[in-house]
Amino acid sequence: MPNYKLEINEKTYEVVAEEGTSLLWVIREHLGLTGTKYGCGIAQCGACTIHVDNVPMRACVLQVENFSDGQKIKTIEGLAENSDHPLQKAWIEAQAPQCGYCQSGQIMQAAALLNENPNPSRDEIKSKMNGILCRCGTYLRIIKAIEIAASNEIKAKG
Amino acid sequence: MKELKSGFSRRDFLKSTGGVALFVGVSGILPQLVSCSSPEKIKEVLAKHPITAWVKLTENGDITIFNPASEMGQGSMTSLPLLFAEEMDADWSKVSVEFSPQESEIYGSPGWSPGSKLMFTVGSRTTNSYYMTMRQAGAQARYVLLASVSKKWNVPISELSTSKSIVIHENSNRQIEYGEIVSFLQMPENLPDFAEDKLKNPKDFEWVGKKINRTDIPDKVNGKAKFSIDIRLPDMVYGVIERGNVHGSKPTLLNETQVLASRGVLKLISLEYGIGIVASSIEDALAAKKILSIDWSDSKASGHNSQEIYSEYEKIASSSKQGQVLEEKGNVKQAKKIASKTYQADFKNDYIYHAQMEPLNAVVKISEDLSAADVWVGSQQGFDTKLGVPAILGIDPKKVTVHLQYLGGGFGRRSMNDFVEECATLAKEMAPLPVKLIWTREDDLTYGAYRPLSLQRIEANTDQDGNVSGFSHLVVGDGGNLVASGTNNSHYNIPNQFVEWREASNGIRLKHWRSVGHGPNKFAIECMLDEIAHDQGKDPIQFRKSLLSNSPRALATLEKVEQISNWNTPSESGRAKGVAFVEHGSLGSGVCEISLNRESGKISVHNFWVALDAGVIVHPDNVKAQMEGGIMMGISSALKEQITIVDGKVQQSNFHDYQLLRMEDIPDQIETELIASDMHPEGVGETATPMVACAIANAFLALTGKKLRHLPFTPERVLEALKS
């Protein structure tokens, strides 16, 4: 079986997997980074959202062989060293999660959104977050958390 | 003396050093104190006494409280330990929470039926069932601390008080922290039972009812929270199962040799309704699943067409053959005879699917000699605390240890053990290798266990004054209480009532779905009330007020929601409001405001207001979260969700064709008002969801004068209603 080098959360991982293996299974089952979740396998729910070179992507539909050329992959575990990303703090402040299963994907998608647009409108938030499902219905608190994080960051930067 | 169940020796806290495990017994059993640094001593004590362990206290004052209920997002990981900490007078900032062992004789609640002890997180019953248990155990823990200090300082217990993990003796101006007591902690000779009047008065609660952060949230924002799908064990192998797309059909595998030769495949295991594949990796298991060639038998579901079955149900409803009478009050026939007006309508609802975000899965490891099993699972628990595994192996339940994990959503689906039993069946063949069984989303959806399709025929009568004098509710559908729950109208002052269930069975797998029959039944009841009010030209809230005149608590929720929704101020043009009342343990009234795209048939919900009376509110922010989530799930199911079946085959397979509510379609706000009460807490998880469909349909009636009587309100059905 082929051997791949993956750059994940600023660490290099070596993994042996068949060509065509979903990056999601590699991240979760081969490497044990289980914060990224399996939800649908067809990029419809967004629970597996990760960043590849800072772009949010659905890991379930990516194939491992296309991501071993030095692309920088980031998962929820690598979002902030002490889990103190402004979004993570805001998520706690808003008491957003219920079951929590979709929240890694939500936070990763939101982090990409704020990178691109530090002060999104409510409609922009809804449109950019629309691909991530939450069955518990925490959407309003997710929006609140994103707004808290955005406003805290703007304040911090003066 | 009862024998102690297994599993204790594996408890995490026994591995820790330092501190004392304080085992506080319920049912009058004396508490035990055992040094945590002496696991042998703990085992010895546990072997002698069927005791209950709720808390661990260490010398530095750290407190660990055990939660006996599942955590599927509803907040038990906070609310139950909070009750314990409240009566213990613990400093909440020093409390951490762990799942208790899954041992119902020790951690079960009598809340399901007196005398029984069940661990069962269903029916929104957790806080209601454990309210006294957790408080009494907490008060006993506090008493043990007080008794020890009393002895040490040689002062009467009555002179001691506590606050935030400190025992205080005001007369001598001394105080001591709970952690410092550990070194001289002693068991008192007697431990009071702490009947309700010996517990804190709710108005003196320090933590209960206040703004408290959930204990499970920090790990849910950094990927550390463990769901069973996240479990990885040494030598673990992976299982998948191909099940028929007609429920109950039996497989004949046509290409066994080919599948066995597929990369990584270790074993094929035939089940009655599926073919199991165990492989060395999940990708290999899934690849092999794709090449299976299976001949499927017919089953009871063959030939079932979900959208055509309603005409059959209508015939059943109209036939003279009576079903099971569920409720009879007064005489509806007489009421009809003397009625000045009779209203009749059929309300329908299609199958819907749980769609919990974590697909079903479990990890099971069985010992080589098949005499013991370890199970890692997110489960809502059940009558069998060991989730059906002992029967599969033919072993004593004591030999099965269930390691409960967080649930990535439950909504009723995880109160069924099919997936755990399947995993045990595969693991038995692979022993001693641990097996992780994963249902793909397609498996989870197509072999789901749905909320049943049903027909509700309502017949209501009004007298010469326009009062509702008779109300007859006939449910046609499969699954008994699955379709019949929520037909009760005891809060409404209607003198003659009749409820009947007529069975129609189609071989489709069914299960409790958040709020169960309350969804379709409240839809039918609340819509009928609005249809009558509309016909009489009355305001729907004023109309309900007279119906609730004998139910002051229910009436108060209606009056409150009238106020917070500005009911009497007309909506802006193109919008309208609708109301509904629901009882599901707690009492709630909801108002929604909608608009309608008359070209596309799309309904938008802009605002939702809820007023709730749930008795004592243990964790208000979480109750609000449950209202928000319950309403979102209600909107999703009322506007979008639909499972259809053609010739027994489920037509949807994943989230591309089974649509859930997404962020672009949520309301702008959901406002919840909690009504203060000192009554025993009632469940809150399922009160909001059933409000939604009826409130939307009632708003639609107000907006258009047209009736929506078939769930979900797809754009096609909305356009059809507009044309009617």
Q: Which of A131, A83, A57 is nearest to B221 (CA)?
A: A83
Task: Tell me whether A76 touches chain B (CB under 8 Å).
Answer: yes
Task: Tell me whether B686 touches chain A (CB under 8 Å).
Answer: no
**What domains are defined for chain A?**
3-78 (3.10.20.30), 86-156 (1.10.150.120)
Classify B277 in phi/psi space as left (phi over 0), alpha (psi -120 to 50) or beta: beta
Q: CA of A129, closest CA in chain B: separation in Å?
A: 7
Chain A residue with minimum CA distance to B75: A98
Q: Answer whether residue B5 shows pLDDT above 50.
A: no
pLDDT of residue B103: 86
Segment B138-144 shows an average pLDDT of: 90
pLDDT of residue B662: 98
Collect all residues with Cβ–Cβ distance below 8 Å to B197 and sequence separation of at least 6. Answer: none
| C-alpha pair distances (Å), A61 with each of A23, A40, B376 | 7, 10, 28
What is the pLDDT confidence band of residue B52, given thresholds at 50, 70 and 90?
very low
Q: Answer whether residue B6 shows pLDDT above 70.
A: no
* B282 closest CB neighbour out of A29, A47, A125: A29
Task: Tell me whether A37 touches chain B (CB under 8 Å).
Answer: yes
pLDDT of residue B60: 87
Task: Tell me whether A2 touches chain B (CB under 8 Å).
Answer: no
Query: Alpha helices, DSSP H only, in A19-121?
Result: 23-25, 86-93, 103-116
CA–CA gap between residue B405 and residue B651 (Å, rounded):
32
Q: Which of B490, B689, B429, B663 is nearest to A96 (CA)?
A: B663
pLDDT of residue A158: 76
Please report the ipTM that was assigned to this predicted complex.
0.98
Q: Answer whether residue B8 shows pLDDT above 50.
A: no
B435-438 vs B237-243, strand pairing mode: parallel
* A140 closest CB neighbour out of B217, B283, B628: B628
pLDDT of residue B35: 53
Task: Tell me whether A111 touches chain B (CB under 8 Å).
Answer: no
First to last CA, chain A: 53
Q: Answer whether residue B473 shows pLDDT above 90.
A: yes
* A35 closest CB neighbour out of B224, B630, B669: B224
CA–CA gap between residue B410 and residue B357 (Å, rounded):
9
The per-residue pLDDT for range A56-69, each reduced to its tens digit, is: 999 999 999 999 99
The answer to whether B629 contacts A98, with C-beta atoms less than 8 Å apart, is yes
The answer to whether A99 contacts B409, with C-beta atoms less than 8 Å apart, is yes
Q: Answer whether residue B28 shows pLDDT above 80.
A: no
pLDDT of residue B110: 82
Q: Answer whether residue B373 shows pLDDT above 70.
A: yes
The conformation of residue B547, written as its DSSP 8-state character, comes to: H
Q: Answer whether residue B2 shows pLDDT above 60.
A: no
Q: Answer whether residue B94 shows pLDDT above 60.
A: yes
Q: Which of B41, B7, B1, B61 is nearest to B25 (CA)?
A: B1
Task: Tell me whether B633 touches chain A (CB under 8 Å).
Answer: yes
The sheet with strand B265-271 has its strands ordered as: B265-271, B274-279, B237-243, B435-438, B361-366, B373-377, B400-404
Q: CA of B595, closest CA in chain A: separation in Å?
A: 18
Task: Tell me whether B340 touches chain A (CB under 8 Å).
Answer: no
Task: Tell me whether A95 touches chain B (CB under 8 Å).
Answer: yes
The per-residue pLDDT for range B476-488, each reduced to its tens digit, is: 999 999 999 999 8
What is the pLDDT confidence band of residue B34, given thresholds at 50, 70 and 90?
low
Residues of chain B found within 8 Å of residue A143, distances taken between Cβ atoms:
663
* A98 closest CB neighbour out of B282, B625, B655: B625
Task: Tell me whether A142 touches chain B (CB under 8 Å).
Answer: yes
CA–CA gap between residue B637 and residue B642 (Å, rounded):
8
Q: CA of B639, closest CA in chain A: separation in Å?
A: 15
CB pairs under 8 A between A and B: 179
Residues of chain A found within 8 Å of residue B228, distances taken between Cβ atoms:
none
Q: What percent of chain B clears pLDDT 90, i.e. is strictly above it?
A: 85
The per-residue pLDDT for range B220-272, each reduced to its tens digit, is: 999 999 999 999 999 999 999 999 999 999 999 999 999 999 999 999 999 99
Q: What percent of chain B clears pLDDT 70, i.e. is strictly above it?
A: 93
pLDDT of residue B40: 56
From the number of C-beta atoms within 10 Å of its C-beta (0-12, 13-18, 19+), residue B114 rates as: exposed
The per-residue pLDDT for range B323-337, each reduced to its tens digit, is: 999 999 999 999 999
pTM of the entire structure? 0.95
Task: Tell me whether B289 touches chain A (CB under 8 Å).
Answer: no
* B655 closest CB neighbour out of A33, A45, A127: A45
Q: Answer whether residue A127 shows pLDDT above 50.
A: yes
Q: CA of A115, closest CA in chain B: separation in Å?
A: 18
Chain B residue with minimum CA distance to A78: B222
Q: Answer whether residue B11 shows pLDDT above 50.
A: no
The answer to whether A47 contacts B621, with C-beta atoms less than 8 Å apart, is no
| Cβ pair B133, B122 in contact under 8 A | no
The answer to whether B217 contacts A136, with C-beta atoms less than 8 Å apart, is no
Query: Which of B72, B121, B214, B221 is the best substitution to test chain A (most A C-beta atoms within 10 A)?
Result: B221
The answer to whether B408 contacts A79, with C-beta atoms less than 8 Å apart, is no
**What domains are defined for chain B?**
8-218 (3.30.365.10), 228-299+360-438 (3.30.365.10), 309-352+450-723 (3.30.365.10)
pLDDT of residue B49: 38
pLDDT of residue B3: 29
Segment B99-103 shows an average pLDDT of: 90
Task: Tell me whether B229 touches chain A (CB under 8 Å).
Answer: yes
Residues of chain A found within 8 Å of residue B688, distances taken between Cβ atoms:
none
Q: Answer whether residue B82 shows pLDDT above 50.
A: yes
Q: How many Cα atoms within 13 Å fall on the side-chain side of residue B404?
A: 28
Strand partners, B592: B578, B608
Residues of chain A found within 8 Å of residue B225, distances taken between Cβ atoms:
100
Segment B514-533 shows an average pLDDT of: 98
| Cβ pair B295, B246 in contact under 8 A | no
Q: CA of B73, closest CA in chain A: separation in Å?
A: 4
Task: Tell me whether A97 touches chain B (CB under 8 Å).
Answer: yes
CA–CA gap between residue A133 and residue A135 (Å, rounded):
6
Task: Tell me whether B671 touches chain A (CB under 8 Å).
Answer: no
With DSSP H G I counted as helix, E B as strand and the rest as coil, what are the percentages for chain A, rounded to 5?
40, 15, 40
* A133 closest CB neighbour out of B226, B662, B670: B662
Chain A residue with minimum CA distance to B282: A25
The answer to whether B357 contacts A77, with C-beta atoms less than 8 Å apart, is no
Tokens 């402040």 belong to A93
| Cβ pair B153, B145 in contact under 8 A | no
Structure tokens at B48: 């002698």
The answer to whether A44 contacts B656, with C-beta atoms less than 8 Å apart, is yes
The answer to whether B359 contacts A76, with C-beta atoms less than 8 Å apart, is no
Task: Tell me whether B441 touches chain A (CB under 8 Å).
Answer: yes
Task: Tell me whether A27 touches chain B (CB under 8 Å).
Answer: no
CA–CA gap between residue B171 and residue B155 (Å, rounded):
10
Decide which of B464 and B38 is more confident.
B464
Task: Tell me whether A9 touches chain B (CB under 8 Å).
Answer: no
The per-residue pLDDT for range B269-283, each reduced to its tens digit, is: 999 999 999 999 999
Collect all residues with Cβ–Cβ distance below 8 Å to B228 and sequence separation of at least 6. Answer: B361, B362, B363, B376, B377, B378, B405
CA B473 to chain CA mean position, Å: 26
Chain A residue with minimum CA distance to B227: A101
